[in-house]
Structure 1
């Protein structure tokens, strides 16, 4: 079963993402900010990190950069989640190593399509 680390400071968004990803066959864990996400990702080595952009402690972009600086045998796919529609920020995230992004609010079908794009669903 593929694994996912859901990173979002909103408990509601984590709950929604957890439901969608569980329905899609993922075993999920959660983190409330980027610092917690890095610690959990280093231990669990998830297949996917669903990463919110705007968070306290360590934001999504800084977390993405830290994840991509790690020496992974199999690096996780990273899908950035944002309410921002600033193309410059989205391009910066993709250049920093994000595999895909999804705009909030999203539904299960949109998330599934993004996961197909990154090769985690068929």
Structure 2
């Protein structure tokens, strides 16, 4: 069933986490969830995932701050990080990529769009 790859889904919305979990599990990933950036960092320190899908606007620690701190960890170089957020302005996308995200998906996202984006990144 699993290919040994893990995906960390970081979002304060349980519904979004459930949707994202369905998509990545369908692609062979084992899904792990966190509801904010602080919890996500703890999970990454315990075990670095292959793929991280993170929201931007979250309580405790924003996705932007989380990605910045994640990318400061040397072992994070192996992780592919994708923002999944409703913040779709060009400036937001630029900021997300600038702190270390590999790509950007604007909510609401569809299964096919996410799969296509992840395949393009080589993690599909």
The alignment's TM-score, normalised by the length of structure 2, stands at 0.93
Secondary structure in 2 matching 1:78: strand
Matches within 5 A, 1:1-122: 1=3, 2-72=5-75, 74-121=77-124
How far residue 75 of structure 1 moved from its aligned partner, in angstroms, is 2.7
- Residue 74 of structure 1, CA deviation: 4.6
CA distance in 2, matches of 1:113, 1:54: 24
Q: 1:73 to 1:55 in 2, by over 3 A?
A: closer
SS of 1:38's equivalent in the other structure is: helix
- SS of 1:79's equivalent in the other structure is strand
Preserved contact between residue 48 and residue 76 of structure 2 (Cα < 8 Å): no
Q: Secondary structure at the match of 1:45?
A: coil
The alignment's C-alpha RMSD in Å is: 1.1
The structure 1 segments of at least 4 consecutive aligned residues displaced by more than 6 Å after TM superposition are none
